[in-house]
A and B are shown apart, each in its own frame.
Chain A
């Protein structure tokens, strides 16, 4: 049974690991391969700051709220383990700021210590009159992706550095199941008008005195179009750009100015921060995550594809819940092929 995962961002690698952990013991013939044209540190995941935080509203996608919670609980459980540092996983507290009162988010009971901001705290942020404080998690992909890769390599999973042009290409090689974790470029394998780039740009600075994340919200301009500051283990990420439909991966001087001015206004101490790097990336935006199985005709037989893409700006936040859901879909494929049933005694 050959399984190929296409895509090596946080979704591809975690889905691969989840499936391998759950089914390698049950399916001794399981051979897993990963194909990608970009590996860490060049994936979309690598550019993200790594803060666990869903969007403000789940738009009725309760399924996604469950996957977010499963991810948070999974990561929280790993916090005390020796692997945490290598995974790039740690707790972080911080602020969400608004210019008017808003309803509590779907994730208020998932994070730790969620509460409203006091008037004195709001004094820190002129222009904002309402907000939340909570403790959440950081999962830095420039550590997490190598950690996942190491776990996969240890398990004998093979990595291939090449662009896959079609599902057929995989099936023609003898792959039985393809897991499609191609993120923003999934449309190149199968057209999907619902999938659009949500272009973001960030400035990485040295500002080790910043210990809290600060996410501002402007309900009118939409998610991530308002300044945010997220301190990592080495750099602090300044952002606040979300351009729907923009495929340009080049850094924009105008966006740089927007981010820098807005973030320095938010946190005057940043004026003295040294700029280290600038990065642009394309969030794989979709009204909802595409996480489903599809049977594809391939010559005379049927082949299976599990789609797991379209995680927008919350891929890290939702990744493990989705990986487990993808693994369940894989399990049902195995059942259909009767590969997961225990061997019958010969009579």
Chain B
């Protein structure tokens, strides 16, 4: 197969990074990104982009750790380069605080982030309602900048991007040899995955440039993540809610919770509200599938269902997806040479 034509469906952090990995591992491939939404209108744009992993119950921990390590290393290198500001990647330090001491005092990722250690007594005094905490330094990928930077790098390789709503993966079989499904929450309808469900998250993005440290409640519900220009205040985890409309009562509630962790936020200005639907699944669906209709086959690589951990593992899963695309190509070449006999 001279120049395999690969379609990547989805242009959030997963779609764009996967497309980039495919281009890098398979230079002869012609890669096209198709999506009904591009930045700043993807789920990724709502997320803060913090590298703090979510634990998937259905994936072995060593695999999740490997994905996180690869993602961290990749972004760490960018943060330390002249591209950092354009790519929106920066280091940020802070605290994860718990009202009750967690069962697991050392999360699996504690040796991947920088300087992980328990908080001192003096540090905990700033959080009178919390009894235990962890301090560390991690990375943040601000969106839209990171997505726009991925798009720019893709365009530089010659990859194409088109706004297009794909209603059925099969519709792509005549134009493309391989389809990569990075549709996030869209996969629920696109491939009928009933195990993929939204976990609704509402966040506030505010102007509070004096906030330089992140603060996260270990329950995952309340967090303050300082980005380049805005601070993300969160949040909610509403299972199976499909509503993309901001709820004013929730806005007030998030603001109050965050102010109780960081009182200076009362002076925050220019509050905007966003909603995203985390594409949640008990494990990331990262596997090959072959669709067939009437003797025609279409290899598909699925890479979706990252829930609240998309940014944390995106580069690791993108590399794995690219590897699976490589397997698809090998399989196609194998069968095409067999067809010649």
Contacts and interface: CB of A to CB of B under 8 A. Distances in A.
B50 to A, nearest CB: 12
B263 A268 contact: no
Interface stretch (B85-93, B96-104, B150-158): B85-93
A345 B115 CA distance: 65
A80 B263 contact: yes
Contacts of B26: none
A288 interface: no
Interface stretch (A7-15, A114-122, A184-192): A114-122
Contacts of A81: 263
Contacts of A212: 91, 93, 212
A84 interface: yes
Contacts of A117: 115
Given A92-B212, A233-B209, A121 B115 contact: yes
Interface string A108-126: 0000110101101100100
Contacts of B90: 209-211, 269
B263 A211 contact: no
B219 interface: no
Contact of A91 (B81, B82, B213): B213
B210 A233 contact: yes
B247 interface: no
A82 B84 contact: no
A85 B228 contact: no
Contacts of B122: 112-113
Contacts of B119: 113
B211 interface: yes
A90 B126 contact: no
Contacts of A268: 80-82, 84
A135 interface: yes
A86 B117 CA distance: 32
A118 B210 CA distance: 27
A339 interface: no
Contacts of B84: 209, 268-269
Given A113-B135, A209-B90, A211-B226, A269 B85 contact: yes
Interface string B276-309: 0000000000000000000000000000000000
Interface in A135-182: 135, 138
- Which has the most chain B C-beta neighbours within 10 Å: A209, A234, A273? A209
A61 interface: no
B264 interface: yes
Contacts of B123: 112-113, 135
Interface of A is mostly: mixed
Contacts of A112: 120, 122-123
A133 interface: yes
A93 interface: yes
Contacts of B210: 85, 88, 90, 138, 233
Contact of B212 (A93, A120, A269, A271): A93
A88 to B, nearest CB: 8
A333 B205 CA distance: 54
Interface string A189-226: 00000000000000000011111100000000000000
B226 to A, nearest CB: 6
A336 interface: no
Nearest to B117: A115
Nearest to B116: A118
Contacts of A275: none
Interface in B199-231: 209-213, 226, 228-229
A59 interface: no
Contacts of A234: 209
A240 interface: no
Contacts of A346: none
A54 interface: no
A291 interface: no
B85 A209 contact: yes
A77 to B, nearest CB: 11
Interface in A296-311: none
Contacts of B229: 208
A118 B212 contact: no
A231 B212 contact: yes
Interface in B252-291: 263-264, 266-267
Interface string B12-40: 00000000000000000000000000000
B114 interface: yes
A90 B115 contact: no
A79 B264 contact: yes
B83 to A, nearest CB: 8
Q: Which 6 A-B pairs have the closest CB atoms?
A: A269-B84, A85-B267, A90-B210, A209-B90, A233-B210, A93-B93
Given A88-B210, A211-B91, 5 more contacts: A85-B267, A209-B142, A268-B80, A269-B85, A271-B82
